[in-house]
Amino acid sequence: MKVITGSAILATASFLMGSTAMAATEISWWHAMTGANNEVVDQLAKEFNESQSDFKVMPVFKGTYPETLNAGIAAFRAKQPPAIMQVFDAGSGVMMGAQGAIVPVADVLEKGGFKFDKSQYLPGIVAYYSKPDGTMLSFPYNSSSPILYYNKDIFEKAGLNPDTPPKTWGEVFDAAKKIKTSGAAPCGFTSTWLTWIQTENFAAWNNLSYGSNENGLGGTDVKLAFNAEPFVKHFQAIADLAKDGTFRYGGRTSEAKQLFTSGECAILTESSGGLGDIVKSGLKYGIGQLPYAEGPGRPQNTIPGGASLWVFGGKSDAEYKGVATFFNFLSQTKIQSRLHQVSGYMPVTMAAYEDTKKSGFYEKNPARETPLLQMMGKAPTENSKGVRLVNLPQVRDIMNEEFESMLAGKQDAKAALDKAVQRGNAAIQQAIGK
């Protein structure tokens, strides 16, 4: 009779454990999260992987939002796309138009055996990532709203009330001038995303038309309208402040955040999702709502930014089961509540929002509810449902080129916006085949 030793049992167990680990289906997840938000991505993947043994989510950083989208398009053309790709709001129209490239997230979840009820998600977010018939196409992972951050120490130094953030754009510009002239800081004001914050959300928040056809949500044939007088006035004010450095330009996406965290600029308009890096900076900061231009009925409502998770076609049943299991994991109230409280992004489910309320989090941190109140405070109008163009990333690039020329003193705001509209319209017509 053969005696089985303890070492043999351990060896067998080790082999079996190794086999189980090897058997896990790998789920590739391409994303664009940096800094504190990258740490959140890695932590979520780690927790999911440790919660079960059938699937292993593999996060891969692919650069900025536009870079990640371009990498995904190239990978799809090479027939080697990831299972999941994080796509920023501007890329939604591109993904929706990619027939056969993606699988609606609703289908993925239902086929994976999970009950999918879109009424559980925040209405404004669901609408943005759904087809006109209501089918939700992507999973809203990190939705955000633009808000105002300000340096309380610099405000105090400049003789401004550190407990009262400016509410209107006029107040922002006045505060920025006072900060600069007093020497409290070398720069009064900066902003990330001149496209998303200063144009798309400026339009929605002030109930102004960005473009025809409900800003593209009602149809692909869109005529841009952001060269109207209120936009010209707003951007000319920014251009004037840039002449002596009162306004400082940081870059096309989130780069300006560094001008704030370094203490160089006192006021920043940025995504609510930028909070993690601002907290890590150690600054004594305050939060205010996105400023609005004075006028009747304002402010209206902001539109979601951030990104959602899209699922590519052509994957195995096992991979789709893994994706569904992962998305179900992300939908858990405790996960969504924590993601919201740690990152500054909005909770994407109503349950997580209610859970955060009940926990007393907003009572201790009232400003942290600001992005939600901005987006959900009023029923959206045709001007404030969002922006969806078949080639919004391209149109944003055009806008940025004209804004950069304006900020360099080569043209005024009217010329910049007129050219951006003219070039943008031509690009849209080409994209829709007209």
| Per-residue pLDDT at 19 exceeds 70 | no
Q: For the chain, what is the mean pLDDT? A: 92
Sign of CA dihedral 374, 376, 380, 385: positive
Can you give the pLDDT at residue 381?
93
Greater model confidence, 264 or 140: 264
For residue 357, which phi and psi values (nearest 5 degrees)? Answer: -60, -50
Least Cα distance to 417 among 228, 269, 184 occurs for 228
Can you give the pLDDT at residue 142?
87
Q: Can you list the positions of beta strands (E) in 134-271?
A: 139-144, 146-151, 187-191, 265-271
Note the pTM of the prediction, 2 decimals: 0.88
Instruction: Tell me if residue 292 falls in helix, strand or coil.
Output: strand
For residue 85, which phi and psi values (nearest 5 degrees)? Answer: -135, 130
Which domains, ranges and CATH numbers included, belong to the chain?
A: 6-144+305-359 (3.40.190.10), 146-302+376-431 (3.40.190.10)
pLDDT band for position 22 (cuts 50, 70, 90): low
Helices of type H across 208-330: 212-215, 229-242, 257-261, 275-281, 317-330
Can you give the pLDDT at residue 307?
92
Q: What is the pLDDT of residues 33-85, one digit of tens each?
A: 999 899 999 999 999 999 999 999 999 999 999 999 999 999 999 999 999 99
Can you give the pLDDT at residue 75?
95
The region of weakest confidence among 113-127, 180-194, 242-256 is 113-127
